[in-house]
Chain A
Amino acid sequence: MELLDARRAPLLARPFFEGGDPGAIASAMAHVPEVLDATMPFLVQMFGPSALPARTKELVILRTSALLDCRYCIQSHSIAARDAGLAREEVLALRGDGPLGDQFTDRAERALLDWVDGVAGSTGPVPPEIGEALMSHFAEPDVIELTLLAGTTMMLNRFCTALGLPTSQAALARLAEDGLL
């Protein structure tokens, strides 16, 4: 799979390369520029700043990526999670490398992680009691956004895993530095 660089970036993709390497996901999607053009604003909205705290969003993204075993997303979002304020031990627990219960005692975060496990860890409806627990801690619009975030992460998990997208050298160096490789 060729990852397009700035020199080979199609016209609609050029703006995404103006700030330097846009990362493996955008460089792969650039092969279909009209898809990149439509998708990137959506991804920026989903993964960037929004009404939800960055920490809450990273819990969803990293936990979902661990459940779907996406190496690229686990590595990229271990860094994003650390940047959002999560402790190294919390990151390890979300990745399945340590017990979740020991690290996440806040009831709202536990309800959220149970919801994510229900959305991304199985098929079919999420058990109603898990939904009710989530709704007792989060407003309806938050639940909508959190669920869409989990679903969007799942889409990218499969995209990155199926295409075997490589983690950047810079990200690998940072993970090594943090003992998260």
Chain B
Amino acid sequence: MRVEQIAVFLENKSGRLAEITGILAENEINIRALSVADTADFGILRLIVNKVDLARKVLKENGFTVGKTNVIAVEVPDQAGGLAGVLKTVETEGLNVEYMYAFVNKTGENAVLIFRFDEMDKAIQSLQKAGLTLLSGEQVCAL
């Protein structure tokens, strides 16, 4: 139950994000979710897209440093306390979150939480045991 995510290195200079989204658009790649982690000197763009390998290839061809990693997508009802419930499980199971971000699906009924844990296998087991819904890559892109 892993979802492939691509990460792109960004120097802090103007226009880089626009350039990346432009390249993806030209190649008809759809972005399902994204987040940017930024420091004083650089940023890391994380993307979940419908065509992971193509996205990686075209960005590389355009000179970007691109990495592929696995994340976990957890679906929760889009209502108050949705995220809190998941994080409670994360805490009681002693899982270490490297980072997370979220988006709401088109119907607006559910929210999807994207997690990067340091121990992915343990996290998958724990979250499933707690009865949470984990989505596959195809499911995320089909939303």
Are A and B co-members of a single complex? no
